[in-house]
Amino acid sequence: MIKSIYTLLLLFLFSSCYRDKTEFTIKGSLKGYFPNKIYLFKLKNTGIVPVDSTKMSDKGEFFFKAKTNIPAFYLLKIKNSKGIYLLASPHDNIKIYINADNFDIEYVVEGSIESRRISKLTKEHHKTLGKITDLSIEYEKNMSNPNFQSAKYDSQYTAIEKNFKVYATNFIMESPGSFSSLMALYLQLGIKTPPVFDRKKDFKLFELVDSSLTALYPTSEAVIKLNREVVEMREKLKLEVGAVAPEIALPDTSNQTISLKSFNGKYVLINFWASWCSECREQTRHLIKTYQKYKEKGFMVYQVSLDKTKKSWREAIEQDEIPYVNVSDLKFWNSKAAKLYKVENIPYNVLIDRKGEIVEKNIRLTKLDSVLNKL
């Protein structure tokens, strides 16, 4: 008898633990006119995936039970609605009270801190969109006025946009490890407008949310996607104007390794070329003249060859009488330096200043002379 009770107790504890591990519930009610059905969707990188649907009770009440291993975005929808975004975590018992006449905006959510944050963000976003709509109506209304000034409306729109960006930035900074902050990163102020946050200009913010969420939820699809974008952008920013030029250290024709950094204190043109590239050879003839003109003023050319054989590389240097540094790992398009600088076509030039920072990329030789003259 005691053994049987013990076995039943173990089974109960096991089933309870298993159930609590991934389950969450959503219990809600609608006031006003409502349809007889409500739908639950999950937001994935590939799109919106149906999870469940249920009929409303006569009182406008509904109930969903679903499972998730980690916090995930869900969308609650009725017919002709954009939907309510929720963020459900394991163990959540979410309660939501909705005004059916303004389903997407007028609701109160309990039992989920993340969903409450999303509600707060959504309402501020909606309020901002309302201001933009009002401004657009006023703009169109006054266009025919002889004293109409579009600059006035442009400045007002800029102010609205700026105020929302400040709000969204503070929202993210309050809790960068929140999934609601991830949502804030991608908000737009119109279907055809760019996101409020620019991946390049606001990179530090993307990086902050990425590092915070990756540490907490490394297996989340949404977090993996953000991390991939941040890694790609970080690589791109390494080659942006103003960034320190990535180091190159390759052997010359005498097998002596020459590093790019060894020319710090000079203006250096990194020139990617090859003996088999006729355009490169033509460019080299003009580049030699530019080098001779500015070499006494601290200008250097660091030429990286994408040749495959030392013989052809060396012969081209001798034939063209190239007087400046020439290096190569003889790996053709697999050249480490070419990959580092994302070289897709040759000739390709990168101008760096005395501090080793990138001044211009893919600069044409016709422009190089005037740039060097100013520098």
Mean pLDDT, residues 145-161 = 90
pLDDT higher than 60, residue 248: yes
- Once rounded to an integer, what is the mean pLDDT over residues 17-37? 83
Cβ(96)–Cβ(31) below 8 Å: no
Confidence of residue 10 (pLDDT cuts 50, 70, 90): very low
Rounded to whole angstroms, how far apart are CA atoms 105 and 127? 10
Mean pLDDT, residues 176-193: 92
Beta-bridged to residue 315, according to DSSP, are none
- Tokens 């495959």 sit at which residue? 308
Would you give the DSSP letter of residue 218? T
148 and 138 Cβ atoms separated by less than 8 Å: no
CATH assignment of 249-374, given 1.20.1260.10, 3.40.30.10, 3.40.640.10, 3.40.50.720?
A: 3.40.30.10
On whether the CB atoms of residues 354 and 298 are closer than 8 A, the answer is yes
Q: pLDDT tier at 12 (50, 70, 90 boundaries)?
A: very low
> If DSSP codes are grouped into helix, strand and coil, which group holds residue 93?
strand
Parse the chain into domains and list their residue ranges. 21-111, 118-237, 249-374
Q: What are phi and psi of 86, to 5 degrees?
A: -125, 155
Q: Which residues contact 4 (CB under 8 A, 6 or more apart)?
A: none
Count of other CB atoms within 10 angstroms of residue 56: 18
Whether domain 21-111 has CATH 3.40.50: the reply is no
pLDDT over 90, % of the chain: 79
Is the confidence at residue 9, as pLDDT, over 60?
A: no
Residue 128, both tokens? 């901002």
Task: State yes or no: pLDDT of 137 exceeds 80.
Answer: yes
Contacts of 168 (CB under 8 A, 6+ apart): 121, 184, 187, 196, 197
Is 244 in contact with 326 (CB distance < 8 Å)? no
Could you tell me the two tokens for 199?
């991946």
pLDDT of 120 above 90: yes
pLDDT at res. 368: 86
Residue 357 has phi, psi (to 5 degrees) of -95, 145
Residue 259: the pLDDT is 96
| Nearest one of 68, 87, 80 to 21, comparing CA atoms | 68
Q: b or e along 245-260 (b: 16 or more beta carbons within 10 Å of the residue's beta carbon)?
A: bbebebebeeeeebeb
**What pLDDT does residue 146 have?**
83
Average pLDDT, the chain: 91
pLDDT in tens, 43-81: 998 889 999 999 999 999 999 999 999 999 999 999 989
Q: Is the pLDDT of residue 20 over 80?
A: no
| 63's tokens | 């109930």
